[in-house]
Structure 1
Amino acid sequence: MTKWLIVRHGATDWNQQHRIQGHSNISLNEEGREQARKLRRRLSKVKINAVYTSDLIRASETADILISNSATVVHVFPNLREQTFGKWEGLKSDQIGAYIPALHGEISSKSSSTTPPQGESLLEVRDRLAVAVSYFKKKHRTGCILIVAHGGSIGVLMTLLMDVSISGVGRFKTDNCSLSILNVKDEKVDIELFNDISHLCDANLSCS
């Protein structure tokens, strides 16, 4: 069995402005970096055998912070990228929400094949993430791996791992710098933890 630690990248200015990021290479803001430092403390005693991250800077910067106190090598894995929204990137979600049911957790089989202008469909995202899932399963039969990715790509990744239709992607929403833990053995996957942000909470149990 292999333990998969799946982390969504820390916050960016565009997250907080509710702008569509896609492949736009937006860095973490200071809150996002602090979120990653808090998660690093939580994971400080966990033995991680390998780290994989999207090549987009908000994910790779999160990964670098998470393992900055260890000798673990970060492997850049472009297949983990967010869905690209093409000409919609940089727009606020409410400007295009009517055209992207995914933003509201209501994916239909029709919308899953819809492609934003100069972007990619969820079906295309699923195809490239299927390559990542296959690689991780073959490469890591035991141990613990850390995967840093994006809200959309994590949602699609979860549909693959849980063997559910792409129409179920809305069930797997994640917050910035959240931690999900899966126990993976061949085709059997158990969710130990999903979208947990307790490490971001202060003594008054307010989270940021």
Structure 2
Amino acid sequence: MTTILLIRHGEVEGITPPRFRGRTNLALTKRGITQAEQTRDAISDRWVLNAVYCSPLTRCVRTADAIASPFKLDVMPHHGLNDIDYGTWQGKLLTEVAQRWPNELTTWHSAPHTMRLPGGESLYEVLARATDALQTILHANHHGTIAIVAHDSVIRLLLCHALGLSPASYWLTSPSPCGISDLHFHEDRFTIHSINETQHLTERE
């Protein structure tokens, strides 16, 4: 059996007010660094990690580095875990997109699986590369516990995959910065033990 910890990266600029960050390479905020450290401590108290994988973007690499440090593991970036390509929406505030692409934004919020983001990816394309990455990771880790640090878009779709749901259920989950989802994989089947644990995150002044 393999235990898979899906972890969203720590806080970055652009979460509030909401901005379509996508492939923009953002650093963790001060709060994001604290979240990564708290997640490191929570994981090291409960699990022994055998491997840590992440998206190649800085916010995921830095979060993964923190999580891997107690176990003396090298973080392994995987391009299949990269954030969704928002195309022409990337870098824009939600309010800007609402003004310029009102119909497309309505579809994105109501039926995201039916569209390709203008100049960017569809959810099915993200799902394909993310599940390919997951299969590669599972093939290399038949036993033990692995951490995967990625983006909310990737985690939403991997949870849909594990639950046997289509991308039509994209909005069913809402991964928080440094939230932990605990999945087990055994005999070609996923078991979900928790989704988006955040009790380890506390504000520190």
The TM-score, its normalising length taken from structure 2, stands at 0.90
Whole-Å Cα distance in 1 between the matches of residues 20 and 198 of structure 2?
A: 22
Change in Cα spacing, 1:166 to 1:70, as seen in structure 2 (3 Å) is same
Whole-Å Cα distance in 1 between the matches of residues 189 and 97 of structure 2?
A: 37
Change in Cα spacing, 1:154 to 1:133, as seen in structure 2 (3 Å) is same
CA contact (8 A) 2:49 2:71 kept: no
1:159 aligns with 2:160: yes
State the partner residue of 1:201. Answer: 202
Give SS of 1:83's match.
coil
CA contact (8 A) 2:107 2:115 kept: no
Give SS of 1:198's match.
coil
The TM-score, its normalising length taken from structure 1, stands at 0.89
Amino acid at match of 1:140: N
State the partner residue of 1:116. Answer: 117
Name which of structure 1's ranges 118-127 and 94-103 shifts more when overlaid on structure 2: 94-103
State the partner residue of 2:182. Answer: 181
Any unmatched runs of 5+ in structure 1? Answer: none
Superposed CA RMSD in Å reads: 2.0
Whole-Å Cα distance in 2 between the matches of residues 135 and 161 of structure 1?
A: 15
**Amino-acid identity (%):** 28
Amino acid at match of 2:137: F
State the partner residue of 1:146. Answer: 147
Whole-Å Cα distance in 1 between the matches of residues 55 and 76 of structure 2?
A: 9
Give SS of 1:69's match.
helix
Give the total of aligned pairs.
200
1:11 aligns with 2:4: no
Change in Cα spacing, 1:187 to 1:172, as seen in structure 2 (3 Å) is farther
Amino acid at match of 1:58: R
State the partner residue of 1:40. Answer: 40
Give SS of 2:134's match.
helix
**How big is the shift at 1:113?**
4.5
Give SS of 1:117's match.
coil
State the partner residue of 1:30. Answer: 30
Change in Cα spacing, 1:64 to 1:158, as seen in structure 2 (3 Å) is same
Any unmatched runs of 5+ in structure 2? Answer: none
Whole-Å Cα distance in 2 between the matches of residues 18 and 68 of structure 1?
A: 31
**How big is the shift at 1:201?**
2.7
Amino acid at match of 1:163: G
State the partner residue of 1:21. Answer: 21
CA contact (8 A) 1:11 1:176 kept: yes
Amino acid at match of 1:167: A
**How big is the shift at 1:83?**
0.5
Change in Cα spacing, 1:14 to 1:34, as seen in structure 2 (3 Å) is same
State the partner residue of 1:170. Answer: 171
